Amino acid sequence: MIGVGHFISQRQDYETSIERSYQAEMAARVQIAQGDDSKAARRTIAAEEARRAELRDSISDDTRNTAILVGIGLIAGLIGALLLFAGLITAMRRPLEALVDAAGRLAAGDRSTRVEVGGLSETATLGKAFNDMAAELELEASERDQLDRMKDEFVLTASHELRSPLTSVQGFAELLMMERDSLTQRQVETVEIILDNCRHLVRLLNDLLDLARSDAGRLAIRPRPTRLGPLIEDVVRTLRAQTEASEQTLTEKIDANLPLVEVEPDRIRQILVNLVTNAHEYSPKRASIEVTARVTDAEVEIDVIDDGPGIPPAQMEHIFERFVRGDAGLTQRVGGTGLGLAISKSLVELHGGTISVDSEVGRGSTFKVLLPVAPPGAVEAPPSGPRAIAEGPR
């Protein structure tokens, strides 16, 4: 502003001097026009012309200098504004970057994430709001985890407490069935009802125990090198009577050179029973069910194939979730709790394998289980004691 004011003042002085110079020159020219051709008048004209030239040069230099000063001032002001803007951006960017990073950690499950509150008032307010939200989420997660632990402990305790008296009732009912010749027909039917309900409750309790142990990280397995062929044949043989009662065909097809797998036999038996029972329950009369086993790369693939009604696409994505049961359709036999496939998935993954389903409505379904092959040189472990196969839908 000082440079501009100085320039304006100089401009005014220049104009005043030029005006006076022109007046002096005009007076001299008037003298010459009136016949006074004196050397003094001519010198005056020449002097005024020289003076004006000098004034023009002077004002030109001043104008240039003033323009340079104004330009420098503008550039300095622009640089200052840019530096100020950059400072403001930096002051806002760092807290925002920290906030974005903290939000990512919070979304990944780190409920203890907090950000440093500071900087501009707006970013400080945002940081405080984020910390309040994170604290609330951490509290809710802690309460939810505590409730889940209490639920798991309750299920474990209740299942254990209920299983003991149920086992006793089942044992006494089985003893009565051993003496069925001394019972009336009505008494035999009553004992059979007791046995059926006891078995159903025991299966339900076992399922709940498995799920609770899985949630608590206590569901453990003891894998050992095992031949799948005899195990599959045993499951098919045991469940064949159940399928034949519905005029269904249950067969197995096992590769002759099937390698040993690293599994716990009783748990694989449980998985197969669940899959075959589901195929039986959801398939109509005269349906075909086949259990196949073959080697693929470093895994053994077990398929349970049926030509039943298939699974609608809307149910496929939820098929391995808990308490999910498909539409019984025309079979009218589907019962259970809808836990069997969820438990089977947990058990397969516990063995380091995978389970999947491929189905087409009207064409049937194929449940595929992939299990890891035992290490080279592994020797088949001796079988453990017999385990009763839990029949019925789970």
Do 367 and 231 belong together in one domain? yes
| CATH code where residue 248 lies | 3.30.565.10
Rounded to the nearest integer, the mean pLDDT of the chain is 79
Helix ranges, the chain (H): 2-33, 39-107, 121-178, 185-216, 228-244, 265-282, 313-316, 340-350
Do 366 and 229 belong together in one domain? yes
Do 231 and 354 belong together in one domain? yes
Helix ranges, 34-120 (H): 39-107
Do 191 and 320 belong together in one domain? no
pLDDT at res. 199? 81
pLDDT at res. 287? 94
Mean of the pLDDT values across residues 22-31? 58
Show the CA angle centred on residue 355, arms to residues 226 and 234, nearest 5°. 40
In a domain, residue 44? The reply is yes
Does pLDDT of 381 surpass 90? no
pLDDT at res. 394? 43
In the listed set 100, 133, 159, which residue is the last one of a domain according to the structure?
Answer: 100
Do 77 and 156 belong together in one domain? no
Do 363 and 237 belong together in one domain? yes
Does pLDDT of 152 surpass 90? no
In a domain, residue 73? The reply is yes
**pLDDT tens digit sequence for 80-129:** 888 888 777 776 777 777 778 888 888 887 877 887 776 666 677 877 88
Say if pTM beats, i.e. exceeds, 0.75: no
User: Worst-scoring range by mean pLDDT, 138-142, 186-190, 192-196, 272-276?
Assistant: 138-142
pLDDT bracket for residue 64 (50, 70, 90): confident
In the listed set 216, 242, 260, which residue is the last one of a domain according to the structure?
Answer: 216
Selection from 327, 323, 359, 356 nearest residue 342 by Cα: 323
Do 190 and 282 belong together in one domain? no
Do 366 and 283 belong together in one domain? yes
User: Worst-scoring range by mean pLDDT, 11-25, 48-62, 180-194, 265-279?
Assistant: 11-25
Number of domain units in the chain: 3
Mean of the pLDDT values across residues 375-389? 63
Say how far apart CA 216 and CA 149 lie, in whole Å. 8
pLDDT at res. 233? 95
Does pLDDT of 79 surpass 60? yes
Question: How is residue 266 written in tokens?
Answer: 């009783």
pLDDT at res. 358? 94
Do 184 and 309 belong together in one domain? no
In a domain, residue 203? The reply is yes
pLDDT at res. 323? 74
Say how far apart CA 308 and CA 247 lie, in whole Å. 13
In a domain, residue 290? The reply is yes
pLDDT at res. 14? 58
Do 211 and 83 belong together in one domain? no
User: Which of 21-25, 180-184, 329-333 reaches the highest mean pLDDT?
Assistant: 180-184
In a domain, residue 126? The reply is no
pLDDT at res. 9? 63
Mean of the pLDDT values across residues 184-189? 91
Do 191 and 258 belong together in one domain? no
pLDDT at res. 22? 60
Does pLDDT of 344 surpass 70? yes
Looking up tokens 């449940």, which residue turns up?
Answer: 367
In a domain, residue 208? The reply is yes
- Of all residues in the chain, the percent with pLDDT exceeding 90 is 28
Query: By residue range, what is the domain housing residue 164?
Result: 148-216
Q: Is 326 exposed, middle or buried (0-12, 13-18, 19+ CB in 10 A)?
A: buried
pLDDT bracket for residue 330 (50, 70, 90): very low
Does pLDDT of 327 surpass 80? no
In a domain, residue 393? The reply is no
**pLDDT tens digit sequence for 298-310:** 899 999 999 999 9
